[in-house]
């Protein structure tokens, strides 16, 4: 069982490509104490539909790639009979 939300948390670090892209997109104000501030990112993202779309264009493909990778890894394990992905925005992201 994998969680898309956990994948997002994993991706949202300053040393990741996504983290650097978010800082580039939304400015240094999203960094607090040397870490990405999720509340600051959310505040900026929900200020406008353009900001939210920009964030989604960064996150959703990265989450999809990670889910695909985890699925491929699990499918190579003979003891893995099921793969369950918890995706809160399943239909909104077109991942159904």
* 14-56 per-position pLDDT tens digit: 989 999 999 999 999 999 999 999 999 999 999 999 999 999 9
Per-residue pLDDT band at 95 (split at 50, 70, 90): low
Query: Would you state the pLDDT for residue 41?
Result: 95
For residue 4, count CB atoms less than 10 angstroms from its CB and return exposed for 0-12, middle for 13-18, buried for 19 or more.
Answer: buried
pLDDT, residue 62, reads 93
Q: 94 vs 52, which has greater pLDDT?
A: 52
Give this prediction's pTM.
0.82
What single DSSP character describes residue 32?
Answer: E
Distance (Å) of CA 84 to CA 8, 11, 50, 70, 91: 17, 20, 32, 11, 16
55-69: per-residue pLDDT in tens? Answer: 999 999 999 999 999
């Amino acid at each position: 069982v994998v969680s898309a939300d956990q994948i997002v948390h994993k991706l949202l670090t300053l040393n990741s490509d996504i983290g650097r892209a978010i800082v580039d997109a939304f400015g240094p104000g999203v960094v607090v104490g040397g870490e990405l501030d999720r509340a600051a990112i959310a505040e900026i993202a929900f200020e406008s539909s353009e900001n939210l779309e920009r964030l989604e264009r960064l996150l959703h493909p990265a989450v999809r790639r990670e889910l695909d990778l985890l699925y491929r890894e699990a499918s190579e394990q003979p003891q893995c009979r099921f793969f369950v992905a918890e995706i809160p925005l399943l239909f909104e992201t077109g991942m159904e």
